[in-house]
Structure 1
């Protein structure tokens, strides 16, 4: 800054020559400088006031906006803080297709101790054992009187237990708030729900994480605070699920089976309406995984997707529909089923040594002829058979939305020979899950389109690629209907509903090779109504035995079929299917007349 001198020499000299007072020049310059200084100071002050005003305006705006947000949100915060970490304390609900609650959160508490703050550790331990009989009093006294500064006692306690601990009155016993995952329906749909547990834990909050089922598959979605108010809607129907579980449990006990599973699927969308696996468990108190023995003996084992079995004669319909699709046969084509029949040096026989002779393709399915199906498989050939079964989804684990489904990958032969093609055509030599089977039958039921099983509610049908013609699918449905009307599944006749299906009885393999003679896996794969299919139902019983006669009967026609029929009779009305009067032949109608 250049300062202007108060007594400029040029002006002073000029003033003296003119006889003016030089001091007036200095006074005038002082006045001008002071006015400039005053103006500058005022500008600075006004600028500071403006900045301060803007600051206070923004601050009050932020405070007001925050107060508005707090006033419009729920009192429960979506996230809770613990020392050293941020723990997500929210988890979205899970509901069925009608909005019925399957899983939600419940406010509870955990109990912990700080021994250094305890007044009477021995009395506190004695009081805790009275509230929680499973605790060891001696171990508690040792922990409370030792060097430990912190000790978890119970991760979840009820309000009654919390009050009882309050009554002990020791300041060293403290409570930590918890969000507990609650399954209000108990064991219902347990294998689908899976269960949840705690991840990161602190004294102020704990993170709820999925450990199995949909809880783990959709863990990221359920834990995202953005979705706290948006429940995950499944394709399940809670009412149908409850009825299915009750009927299957009764059927399993009635047929003396060690386990059972069922899958009910929409044939057009692939939505799983119900899925049952028995024995079951309560996800509110999920048991520990088995560390020894057969995994399938554990109640945690999901037979519908993890159970990979040789399913027997239910596979025969795939050989028949593919042969029709390729133009090799039609339903009336006659095939000789009389023995002997050898493939690859192995003899192919019929159930109980029967010999059916020449049969049409439809009758091969109705009578469940191994040789007839095997001869169709030889016409098809191993390569084309592989391509067809692969198109139906039998070569990979189903992309079903529970984590256990990834472990249900089918077991395929190392070399797909002519012998493999024959045995696979009647359900041996290849192991798949009941969920795979449901998807395969759905393709026949819906007119020939591939179906992908899903647990997510679908708003619109999603049509997969075509895997067979409408003609082949229609013929397949007709043959399945004949199996019920005059074949091995006669017990599946449900008045008012046109049921079609196929039985399958497979001997259970031994762990070290070979097959058990008196242990079977009985399956009935059904569609209903057969003339316009809406649903596929698979029922599988593990080691069933129907003992009402002189000898135990273990075939699917005597065990799985009656259970499936009762299930259809109960759930069809729940699904909105009205019973229809099945048309009868004119010869069965008696004309009568009456006079007034």
Structure 2
């Protein structure tokens, strides 16, 4: 701390008086020196502040200059908003068939969006876009481009040609956003199995692909999981068998003028669905919109194999015969009353088209000729409760557990009051409605040796777990023998495929009227349920046609023996070799033939 000098030091004042000088001059001199000292200190402080301020300005302007230089040399990019929440997942696992062939995969593409505020000529943009995309509305585009909107999507996915055409418009308000889209390289093949995909959350840089139907929806979590990106979902479907079945089924549907058709090929031991076709179908690359009016079955999105619930007619008769043999109330050679009509109260049960098969017939013959009266008598032996238990064990009381989101809607329609009359009519396929997949599952369980199987669209990677037993192996074999007789001697004679020992049962059911007022006289559901080879069963094939008709032997035919059976036979003829089944052809006799070799 400095000592302040007094303005009038006493010693100097006394000395000045002794010398005769003015003492006030001393005060003025000291005051001047003090002011000069204060001025010098203030100047030093001001110079320090200016130096610090100058350094701050230098650093600030240097930083700004460096940033401007970096931005000038950087690649241009669209402005993007800050990400909020979880990032959008773009990768989705592939779907392949049982042999590894791709059924669904991803493709890099671009979406088209607009920022109207950046457009130079909105009307020109609208005119050119309508030329590229005829489904767009010009007036709507002009309204959007000239209004207050700052952003709008125009197309969610573009082909390379479309992208180039938009690029050639040259307007800065038309922008592209990269993304992945779901691609189905086989078009309509397996459309109802795959279902389809769409976009979930979307951004200008990517979009989330989500399943909307079929296995795409059922396995959506698995397919979207990044951990499974390199692990495709492998289905039980064989792409070649699927293609062949669809080709034959579509041809049969066209020839017979049917409004719809379905076929299911199932491994009867594992429950794996090798082929599932529903017609009409669609292209999942361009999935149509659901119907907003009319009947759901009129939409190509409707999967007749699992959603279609029909009375399946005489295909049910083998269940009554098998249960009767399992219970011991009848055997293959047991004589059954077949004298029409079978009267139950005020109701009367007769044979199709007024046929009569005599007063009695063996149980095997009842199945072979498809006798309603004989089957009803067998059902009477079984009874209501035991019939219910058996059909429940075959899966007819619940929706099929197959891995399709639509399967839950195909629950069988059971009688509200399951009376003794219901038991009689259900035995020959009337009064209970089920899907063709229910029928395929039940036939597989009955004919594979007698153990329950569950249908699946996923290829098994290990040993197949054996299900609960529904009938004995002996009854299963006898059932196959009876069904083989239907093909060789009975109503399914057009179903015999040389070398593959086809066995099966026809079923023709009148279609119920939509308003519940009885049945149509000229509209049927025709079904053929088959197994091959019958001596060493491997596969079950179900073919169902909706309202078929064809001229045969000079008459208009609608029954399954004339419609569904030949279609199924052609499918088996083409598909069996593809599945590795060698035809069992007996060698020709060589009696009387001399074999010689030439040298």
Structure 2 length normalisation: TM-score? Answer: 0.84
Q: Distance in 2 between matches of 1:501 and 1:595?
A: 41
- 3-state SS in 2 of match to 1:178: strand
- 3-state SS in 1 of match to 2:192: helix
1:571 and 2:575 matched: yes
1:240 and 2:244 matched: no
- What whole-Å deviation, never above 9, does each CA across 1:178-204 have from its counterpart, x for those lacking one? 211000000000000100001111111
Specify whether residues 582 and 508 from structure 1 end up closer, same or farther in structure 2 by C-alpha distance, changes over 3 A only: farther
Q: Distance in 2 between matches of 1:82 and 1:505?
A: 63
- Given candidates 378, 381, 388, the residue that maps to 1:379 is 381
Q: CA deviation at 1:411?
A: 0.3
The runs of 4+ residues in structure 1 deviating greater than 6 Å are none
1:480 and 2:483 matched: yes
- What whole-Å deviation, never above 9, does each CA across 1:471-527 have from its counterpart, x for those lacking one? 111110000000001110000111111000000000000012200001011000000
**Residue 179 of structure 1 aligns with which residue?**
180
**Residue 352 of structure 1 aligns with which residue?**
353
1:101 and 2:112 matched: no
Q: CA deviation at 1:138?
A: 2.5
- Given candidates 469, 472, 495, the residue that maps to 1:469 is 472
- 3-state SS in 2 of match to 1:518: strand
**Residue 25 of structure 2 aligns with which residue?**
none
Q: Distance in 1 between matches of 2:342 and 2:132?
A: 72
- Given candidates 517, 527, 533, the residue that maps to 1:529 is 533
**Residue 60 of structure 2 aligns with which residue?**
none
Q: CA deviation at 1:81?
A: 10
- Given candidates 561, 586, 590, the residue that maps to 2:565 is 561
Moved more, 338-347 or 427-436: 338-347
Q: When the two structures are aligned, how many residues end up with a matched partner?
A: 513
Specify whether residues 118 and 582 from structure 1 end up closer, same or farther in structure 2 by C-alpha distance, changes over 3 A only: same
Specify whether residues 218 and 354 from structure 1 end up closer, same or farther in structure 2 by C-alpha distance, changes over 3 A only: same
Q: CA deviation at 1:142?
A: 2.0
**Residue 147 of structure 1 aligns with which residue?**
148
Q: CA deviation at 1:214?
A: 0.4
**Residue 297 of structure 1 aligns with which residue?**
298
- Given candidates 427, 430, 446, the residue that maps to 2:429 is 427
Q: CA deviation at 1:582?
A: 5.0
Q: CA deviation at 1:129?
A: 2.0
Q: Distance in 1 between matches of 2:328 and 2:190?
A: 43
Specify whether residues 595 and 400 from structure 1 end up closer, same or farther in structure 2 by C-alpha distance, changes over 3 A only: closer
Asked if structure 1 preserves the Cα contact closer than 8 Å seen for 2:315 and 2:507, the reply is yes
Q: CA deviation at 1:548?
A: 4.3
Specify whether residues 430 and 315 from structure 1 end up closer, same or farther in structure 2 by C-alpha distance, changes over 3 A only: same
Q: How big is the alpha-carbon RMSD for the aligned residues of Structure 1 and Structure 2?
A: 1.6
**Residue 498 of structure 1 aligns with which residue?**
501
**Residue 545 of structure 1 aligns with which residue?**
549
Counting only pairs closer than 5 Å after superposition, residues 154-173 of structure 1 correspond to structure 2 as 154-173=155-174
Counting only pairs closer than 5 Å after superposition, residues 367-406 of structure 1 correspond to structure 2 as 367-406=369-408
Asked if structure 2 preserves the Cα contact closer than 8 Å seen for 1:82 and 1:203, the reply is no
Asked if structure 2 preserves the Cα contact closer than 8 Å seen for 1:397 and 1:408, the reply is yes
Q: Distance in 2 between matches of 1:128 and 1:431?
A: 51
**Residue 592 of structure 1 aligns with which residue?**
592
Q: CA deviation at 1:438?
A: 0.3
Specify whether residues 470 and 247 from structure 1 end up closer, same or farther in structure 2 by C-alpha distance, changes over 3 A only: same
**Residue 418 of structure 1 aligns with which residue?**
420
**Residue 257 of structure 1 aligns with which residue?**
258
Specify whether residues 595 and 571 from structure 1 end up closer, same or farther in structure 2 by C-alpha distance, changes over 3 A only: closer
Q: Distance in 2 between matches of 1:548 and 1:489?
A: 14
Q: Distance in 2 between matches of 1:476 and 1:344?
A: 32
- What whole-Å deviation, never above 9, does each CA across 1:279-333 have from its counterpart, x for those lacking one? 0100000001111112111111100000000000000000000000000011000
Q: Distance in 1 between matches of 2:487 and 2:447?
A: 15
Unaligned regions of 5+ residues in structure 2, if any? 1-79
- What whole-Å deviation, never above 9, does each CA across 1:157-212 have from its counterpart, x for those lacking one? 11111111111111111111121100000000000010000111111111111110
Structure 1 length normalisation: TM-score? Answer: 0.84
Moved more, 193-202 or 126-135: 126-135
Asked if structure 2 preserves the Cα contact closer than 8 Å seen for 1:81 and 1:87, the reply is no
Asked if structure 2 preserves the Cα contact closer than 8 Å seen for 1:82 and 1:202, the reply is no
Q: CA deviation at 1:118?
A: 1.4
Moved more, 460-469 or 365-374: 460-469
Q: Distance in 2 between matches of 1:309 and 1:140?
A: 47
Q: Distance in 1 between matches of 2:453 and 2:81?
A: 45
Asked if structure 1 preserves the Cα contact closer than 8 Å seen for 2:446 and 2:470, the reply is no
**Residue 208 of structure 2 aligns with which residue?**
207
